[in-house]
């Protein structure tokens, strides 16, 4: 009987340790990435994608993504629960969808809903993500 109790206690302890081992720990391969996007000097709503690359320039895994807010600010997410991007070199794709509402009156078309007129600008760049917090400011023009 004492052996069974000891085995149960050991099993419960192992289960508790395995549950706690993931709590509060950050993924050491990820770093926080945020910043902003402007197009022709105006804050832009854009889709941002950071695709990790190896030394030969080939994709090495899951990309981190974000959509900038009306002020052009963004914060990358690897998935629904993890923020950031893998540390290392990335191919960055940015697709500007529209300028913020207060600034896009000139871009607004009468037959397009809420000023969305398709992609205003699409560009690809390369950026390096370092350990810690990373801030990127993308100033796009025609």
Sketch out the chain's domains with CATH numbers. 28-140 (2.60.40.10)
- Looking only at the bridges linking them, the beta strands covering 30-39 and 133-140 are parallel
pLDDT of 109 over the 70 cut: no
Report the SS3 class of residue 103. Answer: coil
> Against a cut of 0.75, is the pTM above it?
no
pLDDT in tens, 72-104: 999 999 999 999 999 999 999 999 999 987 644
Contacts of 2 (CB under 8 A, 6+ apart): none
Task: Tell which residue, 98, 86, 83, has the closest CA to residue 37.
Answer: 98
Q: Which two tokens stand for residue 132?
A: 């810690």
CB 64 within 8 A of CB 49: yes
């Amino acid at each position: 009987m004492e052996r069974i109790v000891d085995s149960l206690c050991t099993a419960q302890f192992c289960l508790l340790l395995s549950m706690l081992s993931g709590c509060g720990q950050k993924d050491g391969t990820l770093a926080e990435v945020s910043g902003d996007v402007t197009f022709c000097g105006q804050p832009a709503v854009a889709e941002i994608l950071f695709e990790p690359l190896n030394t030969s320039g080939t994709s090495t895994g899951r990309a981190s993504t974000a959509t900038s807010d009306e002020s052009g600010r963004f914060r990358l997410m690897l998935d629904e629960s993890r923020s950031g991007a893998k540390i290392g070199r990335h191919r960055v794709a940015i697709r500007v969808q529209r300028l913020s509402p207060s600034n896009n009156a000139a871009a607004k078309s009468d037959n397009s809903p809420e000023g969305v007129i398709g992609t205003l600008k699409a560009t690809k760049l390369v950026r390096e993500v370092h350990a810690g917090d990373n801030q990127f400011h993308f100033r796009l023009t025609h």
